[in-house]
Structure 1
Amino acid sequence: MTYSEFISSIGNRDGVPDKLNVHLQALWYDAKGDWKIAHDLIDHLEDVTSAHVHAYLHRVEGDLWNARYWYNQAKQPEYKGSLKEEWEQLVKMLL
């Protein structure tokens, strides 16, 4: 799937595309405005990629303390750009 196809899928009413991994599913649901589903998909996972997406989601929530914890777990620096920029970078990295 390309980035353009991923973006297009967000507007579709068909639901989350079948072939997306859990990290991209979480970012897809976040883009749809469903933070809870996005968070529920990854909050129990312990790998560094899940931690990175988890950090982003806590930034969205406005819980910066929790976001910093998850950036640390992901071995990533705290993101300083906009939420939109971080979301785009995560999606492009994961596709």
Structure 2
Amino acid sequence: MKKYFFILIIFILATGFLVTLPGGNLTPESIRYVKVAGQRIRVDLAISPEAQTKGLAGRTGLSEGEGMLFIFLDERNEFSDRHHLDHGKYAGGPC
């Protein structure tokens, strides 16, 4: 009986931990698209440090309504200047 009670407690604690993880309640659709000023934008996620370092490097361009979203699991101050893509397009803040 004690064994089952212990397993139940572990299960409840593990479930609570998983529910409170960042992004634990997100669906793939809500992760892959964001809505800004009523416009739906397809985003590539940069979650890992490697993906964040690479960013948009190596791409020849972005289509209309596409972008990259950087997800940081810890709080930090970041700076990024505009980066040129082919054909004079910008990636980053407003021009």
| Common topology (TM > 0.5) | no
Which structure's residues are more often strand, by fraction? 2
- TM tier relative to shorter chain: under 0.3
Structure 1 or 2, whichever has the larger Rg, is 2
TM-score, normalised by the number of residues in structure 2: 0.26
TM-score, normalised by the number of residues in structure 1: 0.26
